[in-house]
Structure 1
Amino acid sequence: MPLYWRVIVINAAVFVLGTLALALAPVTVSARVLASEAVVLAIGLVTIVVLNALLLRSTLVPLDRAARLMERVDLEKPGERLPETGNGAAADLVESFNAMLERLEAERDASTARALAAQEAERQRIARELHDEVGQGLTAMLLGLKRAVDRAPDDIRSDLILVQDAARGSLEEVRGVARRLRPSVLEDLGLLSALSATATELSTHSGIHVQRGLAQGLPDLSPEAELVIYRVAQEAMTNVARHSEADTAYLSLTRQGDAVALLVADNGRGVRGRTEGTGIRGMKERARLVGADLTVRPRPEGGTEVRLVVPAKAAT
Structure 2
Amino acid sequence: MVVYVLRRLVQSFFVLLAVSLVVFVAVYAVGDPIELLVSAEATEADRQQMIARLGLDLPLWQQYAGFAVRALHGDLGTSFVHGIPAIELIVQRIPATFELVLVAIGLTCLLGISLGLVAGLYHDRALGRSLMGGSVLGFSLPNFWQGMMLILLFAVWLHWLPAAGRGETVEVFGIPFSLFTRDGWAHVLLPAVNLALANIALVLRLTATGVMEAKTQEYVRFARAKGVSERRILTRHILRNILIPVVTVIGLEFGQLLAFSTITETVFAWPGMGKLLIDSIYKLDRPVIVAYVMLVTFIFVMVNLLVDLLYAVLDPRVQLQEASA
TM-score normalised by length of structure 1 = 0.23
Q: Which has the higher strand share?
A: 1
TM-score normalised by length of structure 2 = 0.23
Of the two structures, which has the highest relative contact order with CA contacts closer than 8 Å and spacing of 6 or more?
2
